[in-house]
Structure formats: C-alpha cells, structure tokens
Amino acid sequence: HSTRLAMLSNNLTHWKKLPLLPSLTNQPHQVLASEPVPFADLQQVSRIAAYAFSALSQIRVDAKEELVVQFGIP
C-alpha cells in the first residue's frame, strides 16, 4: 500500500516540493548533545533585545520639508 501511495504522490504535479529547512550545522547531534546555554546568557540576550526594541520604538522623524520633490519636465 505504501509503495502505491508513493507512486501516486510522485505523479501529483500541482503539489510543489517544499524547500528543505536551512542547515546551521553539519553536526546537529553535537549541538544537541552539548551543554545548554546558561540562563544568565539568555537573560542578557533578552535584556539587550528589549533595550534595542525600546530604542527603535522611540525613534521619531521630524520632517521639515517634503520627502518627495516634484520635478517639472520642460
């Protein structure tokens, strides 16, 4: 049954094959077996991200002149 199903699914032309997930490492088992990231490091990254978000949300542009200038064609 699974062989027949595989043959039928290969014949479907309207299904697009999804791209593979990006690979960040050639040795995923080593990454998964390594020590976890210390909680203090996670807190520091979260704190820095919060500071960056706060800084970006406070940026204001005070446009004194028009950003788009109309040019006349003679």
Reduce the DSSP state of residue 53 to 3 states and report it.
Answer: helix
pLDDT tens column, 43-60: 999 999 999 999 999 998
User: Exposed/middle/buried for 8, CB within 10 Å: 0-12, 13-18, 19+?
Assistant: exposed
> What band does 3 get if pLDDT is binned at 50, 70 and 90?
confident
pLDDT tens column, 11-43: 665 556 666 767 777 888 888 888 999 999 999
